Amino acid sequence: MPDAPISTLPGIGSVTQKWLEEAGIGTVSDLRSLGAVEVYRRLKFMFPGRVTLNALYGLEAALRGCHWLDLPSSVKTILRQEAKAIDEALRRGMSPRCRVG
């Protein structure tokens, strides 16, 4: 059911659901169309100190219909690489590049 609420996916807890809704992602279709990595990127930029790699694992697992611990190690490796690149981009973006005023 693609237009089902995001809460119907396995492993999406109330905190993650709230973050997703704040990011404008309210349905399974929304999550599928963006993909786990893009959604993680958006959440990480919105909530940098709270969103962790486990959120990315959880999003990917929810899309696959499994528990995040059951993701293949090859998938986890790719997700870790993606998360590292997003984290580095976030750190670069937080450095002062110019002063206003």
Report yes or no on 68 lying in a domain: yes
pLDDT of 26-59, one tens digit each?
A: 999 999 999 999 999 999 999 988 999 999 999 9
Report yes or no on 100 lying in a domain: no
Report yes or no on 16 lying in a domain: yes
**If you count DSSP H runs as helices and E runs as strands, how many of each does the chain have, helices first?**
5, 0
Report yes or no on 1 lying in a domain: no
Alpha helices in 23-72 (DSSP H): 28-34, 36-46, 53-64
Query: How many structural domains comprise the chain?
Result: 1
Sign of the C-alpha dihedral, residues 79, 28, 47, 100? positive
Name the pLDDT band for 11 (thresholds 50, 70, 90): confident
In residues, how long is the chain? 101
Range of the domain at 88: 6-94
Report yes or no on 76 lying in a domain: yes
For position 14, which CATH number holds?
Answer: 1.10.150.20
CA distance 65 to 59: 10
Name the pLDDT band for 5 (thresholds 50, 70, 90): very high
Report yes or no on 14 lying in a domain: yes
